[in-house]
A and B are shown apart, each in its own frame.
Chain A
Amino acid sequence: MIKVGFYPGCSMKGGAQEYQESVTALAKVFDIELVEVPDWNCCGATAAHNMNKELSLSLPARIMALAEKEGITDIVVPCAACYNRLSLVKHELAEDPSLSSKVASIIDLKYQGTTQILNIIQFIDKYITDKLEEKVVKPFDYKSACYYGCLLVRPHSILKFDRVEDPQSMDVLVRKAGGNAIDWAFKTECCGAGLSVSRTDTVARLSGNILKDAVDREAEVVVVACPMCHSNLDMRRPEINKFLEKKIDVPVMYISQVLGLAVGIDAKTLGLNRHMTEVNLPVRPAKEPAVAAVPEKVVITQKTEA
């Protein structure tokens, strides 16, 4: 059993419980134990960096410092927003040693910036992808629209993860799980993010346009890697349907749930019953253990450095 650090953030203890359940279950299949950073705090989310600079640096820094203290080298951060905050702060503190020591004194902990921050896909790529195909027992044979949102890939200059405008990493994983990742147009369009409560109409419009494109292209499922995207696309469905003036029932699943189904974990353990929009995928006759069409060669020529 390998132990890897884990930062759930607030959402996974609340509305996105099924995300944590599915990540944990998936990890277990691959002999990985996720160890929560002890005494973790909120990353500051969208609020802190709009209010107070030092606070917005200190909150993530404290999480990383606690992990360092515990000897954790990799922290898996499944929420794209938390991942973004932690990575940005790590970058900013690495660039400015005096700021770094100031923050260390605020949180009253030693901070070195040595932990690796992994988003869900980086975690899977580092620990699971190699063994994924051999563990697939129920190929996820569905037309999948992988939705990346804004925070997973931006800003590229700091995160250096995937292509900004046409990311591919989740598509590759879905294909490895036997799925058919479709080409569509709204992969990185904004879902409305934190406006979910304050400007539900805006979220309905933005998320609605995303779902409409997916459905128009006959997607059977939308795959996400962020609890915020999930709640907007899933929970705001009544508002979206109203905006689109038609009922859309395409389910929204986390990438961990997709892979979980493929490796044979049952729907309940993966928390599929917790979604607002029912996950009711048609049953497909079993095919040859399909490792789906070899993904077309993806040229990643995004400039990594300025």
Chain B
Amino acid sequence: MSRIGVFVCHCGENISATVNCEKVAKITGELKGVEFSTDYKYMCSYPGQTLIKEAIKEHKLDGVVVAACSPRMHEPTFRKACAEAGLNPFLCEMSNIREHCSWVHPKDDLTTEKAQDLVRVMVEKVKKNKALNSIKVPVTKTALVIGGGIAGIQAALDIANCGHKVIMVERQPSIGGHMSQLSETFPTLDCSQCILTPRMVEVAQHPNITLHTYSEVESVDGFIGNFKVKIRKRSKSIDEHLCTGCGLCTTKCPQKKIPNEFERGLGFRPAIYVPFPQAVPNKPVIDREHCTYYIKGKCKICEIVCPTKAIRFDQEDEVIDVAVGAIVMATGFDVLKTDYFPEYGYGKYADVIDGLAFERLASASGPTQGEIRRPSDGKIPKKIVFVACAGSRDPAKGIEYCSKICCMYTAKHAMLYKHKVHDGIPYVFYMDIRAGGKNYEEFVRRTIVEDETQYIRGRVSTIYEKNGKLIVKGADTLMGAQPVEIEADMVVLATAGVANHGAEELAQTVHISYDPYKFFAEAHPKLKPVETNTAGIFLAGACQAPKDIPESVAAASGAAVKVAALFSNDELTRDPLVAVVNRSAPPVYSQCVGCFLCQSVCPYQAIEREEIKNRNGEVIKTLARVNEGLCQGCGTCVALCRTKAIDIHGYSNQQVYTEIMALLND
């Protein structure tokens, strides 16, 4: 006869507003095998946990059902409490009467009845639970950082400085990310290159960091502490050991008119190129799509001029396997494609540019050496219009959310413009000015007051060219939506920050969840902002949502601490909820007939072969065996096995049937 305790939680009012918790405790207390039942306002709080622990001791409970929130939320909490009271943690189960009941139903007797049903099901299940012991697995103390923007750089340096190895994978030829394209940064106007490039160099030189640029992650297997990762190192067509980075090849390449991505198309680059002078590593790659040799089979000028004979036209991609214990995602963001709003004429008019292009114009190392000159004719624009929220906060045309960084960088742009073009007039069309952050509002005020920027609250309806001017039509909503028309020389669109291209595929490759906008999803928006729902994988920077540099860096350091904490253990304990192939006495040995169908379906390669030998050492039977370290408890093999030889600990067929029967036998 079981001695089960039922603990019904009110979750403040989250559950008790629609479910009569007292009644649930009372009715389920009368079930067969239930020794004790009660309800409490916050079961997860200290007094709540104490209540459970004392009940276990006082009533000699041999099973516990906590009826509360989702097990995703608090199963570890309650299992730990049970263990502290001397009960095997796997004899504790949760019944989800919040997400599955109180949150989705109105206040009604039926809602309370459903909660009772859900508890009853778990009571029956717990009766079949077995005491299990956690599995211990070793931890590989190397971290993988995907993405080498400021967030990836910060995370990698922090982890490496804790004494752990780091492997960084960056898909571009250089690390640095968007920050390397910025001119000066709000709110202090320090030069982006000056604060970033020393860190890029530090990454390259750190003894604990291995850098793979021009590379991408191809697959990720395994689990926390024990990931196996395949990295595709795309061919750079040069031998990196021989190349000294002299750059001679890049000056002689006949392909000179390839739009330079780093300069947002405002300049050109050759086919063999280093993306920017401060790149790390400072060695070129050949862009095979544009190289004359790969297109026409002739040229090889770079090979001829290279003093160290480093060019390798026949170099192939290389796929390497690495083992890591933790992964930090730091793949950053992108800006919205501007064909969302044809009315602004981006692409049609050369002088309508986006914010990143303006950064390049304002940058001392940019195509104009930091002079603000418009792309069409190189003239200095005397009237410039900045359009905030281009694509943001607009469910009809772009995205619904606020991109968060653009109010600030637009203010910065207006300020930089005024610092460089003293007689120029900057206009900003905005919806609201969102400048929450240390010294941010003060920064925007400076732009308005000291740098005399005309802030117009209203949206731009259309931009068109007339007589060499860009006519910007909009409304001033603070003047009773009065139409405004500005004849500008140049327009800068503060385009929305969106998830990076390829983010969705990458999330699927590493097995983490993402939100509807394809930004990576955190495990909890408030309390687990740098964790993902996949144990051992963490988030840093703008891959999670648009973030500015301070926030990206803070998140990166947060993720690094989580990795360091993980690496402070030599072993990890895992829940033993894994598959097991049954064993029985000779001559049967097991229900398994050795067909190994399970081996072919297991997504984690967790099924091994075990040979049963007789006394003479002859193999008399080959059986399946589950590697507990690899099995993720997905259950695919269980569904497949024809002889029902496999079961999952904690979710055995018997337990699941019991749950169903409990519902049916109401």
Determine the residue in chain B with the shortest Cβ distance to A156: B396
A216 to chain B, nearest CB (A): 7
Given contacts A183-B348, A185-B464, A301-B337, contact A166 B395 (CB under 8 A): no
Q: Is the CB of A216 within 8 A of B462?
A: no
- In the assembled complex, A165 has its CB within 8 A of some CB on chain B: yes
Max chain A C-beta neighbours (<10 A), residue from B337, B342, B396, B398 = B342
Residues of B within 8 A of A199 (CB): none
A168 to chain B, nearest CB (A): 9
Q: Is the CB of A185 within 8 A of B340?
A: no
Query: Is chain B's interface secondary structure helix, strand, loop, or mixed overall?
Result: mixed
B263 to chain A, nearest CB (A): 23
- In the assembled complex, B339 has its CB within 8 A of some CB on chain A: yes
Q: Is the CB of A157 within 8 A of B339?
A: no
- In the assembled complex, B644 has its CB within 8 A of some CB on chain A: no
Q: Which of B308-362 contact A (CB under 8 A)?
A: 337, 339-343, 348
Q: Chain B 632-646 against A: per-residue CB contact (8 Å), 1 yes, 0 no?
A: 000000000000000
Q: Is the CB of A165 within 8 A of B342?
A: yes
- In the assembled complex, A2 has its CB within 8 A of some CB on chain B: no
Residues of B within 8 A of A165 (CB): 341-343, 462
Q: Is the CB of A163 within 8 A of B342?
A: yes
Residues of B within 8 A of A306 (CB): 395-396
Q: Chain A 214-246 against B: per-residue CB contact (8 Å), 1 yes, 0 no?
A: 001000000000000000000000000000000
Residues of A within 8 A of B341 (CB): 165
B389 to chain A, nearest CB (A): 16
Task: Count A-B contacts at CB 8 Å.
Answer: 30
Q: Is the CB of A303 within 8 A of B342?
A: no
- In the assembled complex, A283 has its CB within 8 A of some CB on chain B: no
B345 to chain A, nearest CB (A): 8
A82 to chain B, nearest CB (A): 25
Residues of A within 8 A of B139 (CB): none
Determine the residue in chain B with the shortest Cβ distance to A296: B348
Q: Is the CB of A185 within 8 A of B466?
A: yes
Docked complex Cα distance between A158 and B340 (Å): 18
A26 to chain B, nearest CB (A): 29
Docked complex Cα distance between A306 and B395 (Å): 7
- In the assembled complex, B397 has its CB within 8 A of some CB on chain A: yes
Given contacts A157-B396, A185-B462, contact A303 B348 (CB under 8 A): no
- In the assembled complex, A299 has its CB within 8 A of some CB on chain B: yes
Residues of B within 8 A of A302 (CB): 340, 397
A25 to chain B, nearest CB (A): 34
Q: Is the CB of A216 within 8 A of B340?
A: no
Docked complex Cα distance between A220 and B395 (Å): 38
B181 to chain A, nearest CB (A): 24
Docked complex Cα distance between A74 and B471 (Å): 41
Residues of A within 8 A of B466 (CB): 185, 213, 216
A296 to chain B, nearest CB (A): 10
Determine the residue in chain A with the shortest Cβ distance to B467: A216
Residues of A within 8 A of B339 (CB): 299, 301
Q: Is the CB of B464 within 8 A of A303?
A: no
Determine the residue in chain A with the shortest Cβ distance to B398: A303
Q: Which of B380-408 contact A (CB under 8 A)?
A: 395-398
Docked complex Cα distance between A299 and B343 (Å): 13
B486 to chain A, nearest CB (A): 14
Docked complex Cα distance between A26 and B659 (Å): 71
B666 to chain A, nearest CB (A): 36
Determine the residue in chain A with the shortest Cβ distance to B341: A165
Determine the residue in chain A with the shortest Cβ distance to B465: A185
Q: Chain A 115-159 against B: per-residue CB contact (8 Å), 1 yes, 0 no?
A: 000000000000000000000000000000000000000001100
Residues of B within 8 A of A166 (CB): 342-343
- What 14 additional pairs, Cβ within 8 angstroms, besides A185-B465, A306-B395? A157-B396, A165-B341, A165-B342, A166-B343, A183-B348, A185-B471, A213-B466, A216-B466, A299-B339, A301-B339, A302-B340, A303-B340, A303-B396, A306-B396
- Sampled A-B contacts (27; CB under 8 Å): A156-B396, A157-B396, A165-B341, A165-B342, A165-B343, A165-B462, A166-B342, A166-B343, A183-B348, A184-B464, A185-B462, A185-B464, A185-B465, A185-B466, A185-B471, A216-B466, A299-B339, A301-B337, A301-B339, A301-B340, A302-B340, A302-B397, A303-B340, A303-B397, A303-B398, A306-B395, A306-B396
